[in-house]
Amino acid sequence: MTAPPGTTPPDTALVRARALRKSFGHVEVLRGVDLDVEAGEVCCIVGPSGSGKSTLLRCINHLEKLDSGQIHVDGELIGYRRVGRKLHELSERHVARQRSGIGMVFQQFNLFPHMTALENVIEAPVRVKREPSGEVRTRALSLLDRVGLGEKADAYPGQLSGGQQQRVAIARALAMRPRLMLFDEPTSALDPELVGEVLETMRALAEEGMTMIVVTHEMGFAREVGDTLVFVDDGVIVERGAPAEVLTDPKHERTRSFLSRVL
């Protein structure tokens, strides 16, 4: 991959994505996406299914490899190292180190079914970061309390509701002490009555200053909690701005058409 000129990330942006392109076969899913997210910002991404939202999120922590473009997180080039004007992909070990600072919560909870909630939260810091198990256990218990599940530490995923499992997944991501949290439609697999408890946990994180990029269909959450709303369609960012402004007075017809169907 060739590095385009002028790609030094600014000090103000925690996340800086430039000219991102990604194809699957003959289908170009991202078509030159630029995105900046400031430290402490909550950026909500909305758009129709298949528009490239989840792919964009997965590229930020290199779960998907870009065809071209660059992503910096906290000034660090993700997934590659620069040699002259060329970019060379990092080893999986180096990529794993980078990912350890980027928490991600998926649509499905992906908890280990044979481990308790506490064991699920402890696993990555001990196995990946080699942190002392006693120290991690203390932090994990605190995190479970933080997401309202302190009394469920010894419960297995099969004994928890979907909303509870997703909150364990959030605690698990936070256990790695990330500088950035990515949420890929975290409430889409939940029954409607369970959505609120997960959104409340995310709202609390936002109030604590966590930098978050959230792919969501929850427009109320985007309006109340988001600092920026980004509308993606057909692999490009069509519109971005303050959530209240985009939701009440969208400037582009594609945005208006989408919002008329979901609001």
What would the pLDDT profile of 229-238 be if each residue is shown by its tens digit? 999 999 999 9
Q: pLDDT averaged over the chain?
A: 94
Across 138-156, average pLDDT = 97
State the alpha helices, DSSP H only, in the chain.
Answer: 53-60, 92-99, 117-127, 133-146, 162-174, 192-207, 219-225, 243-248, 253-262
In the predicted model, is pLDDT for residue 8 greater than 50? Answer: no
pLDDT at 85: 84
Q: What is the pLDDT of residue 11?
A: 56
* C-alpha closest to that of 182 among 1, 33, 53: 53
Predicted local confidence at residue 216, as pLDDT: 96
Flag whether pLDDT at 13 surpasses 80.
yes
* pLDDT bucket at 1, cuts 50 / 70 / 90: low
- Locate all alpha helices (DSSP H) within 100-242, ordered by sequence: 117-127, 133-146, 162-174, 192-207, 219-225
Q: How many residues are present in the chain?
A: 263
First to last CA, the chain: 41
- Give 151-201 pLDDT, tens digit per residue: 999 999 999 999 999 999 999 999 999 999 999 999 999 999 999 999 999
Residue 212 has pLDDT above 70, yes or no: yes
Say yes or no to pLDDT of 9 above 80.
no
